[in-house]
Amino acid sequence: MDPYALIICRTQEQRSSVASGKGTDPDWNETFVFSTSDDVSELIIKLMDSDVDSDDFVGEASIPLEAVYVEGNIPTTVYNVVKDGEYRGEIKIGLTFNPEGHRPDEYS
């Protein structure tokens, strides 16, 4: 399996790199930045398997955003990945919320 992730926040979508040859234990360690507001209630992570002809949908995780709006930072947390209502695995995601006008120094 050559997995990658599609990260979706309302109408915005970003794609991770393909973890070629990583099978079912990929490690992306990538940062994605989205513009959002507190009326956006979740982040969707769709896991895909990159194939020559067409990519295969592996499963998805839905991540509620209310806590990150309140706390500002959610440490790496495990979320279930499901497909057709069935458990397919887990993904670990850490989140940070920076209010408009605030630019942290740690962004590269």
What secondary structure letter does DSSP report for 59?
Answer: E
Q: How much is the average pLDDT of 10-16?
A: 95
Q: Choose among 79, 107, 77: nearest CA to 95.
A: 77
What's residue 101's pLDDT? 64
Domains of the chain, first to last: 3-96 (2.60.40.150)
Each residue of 18-68: pLDDT tens digit? 987 777 788 898 999 998 877 889 999 999 999 888 999 999 999 999 999
Instruction: State how far Cα 25 lies from the chain centre.
Output: 15
What's residue 52's pLDDT? 81
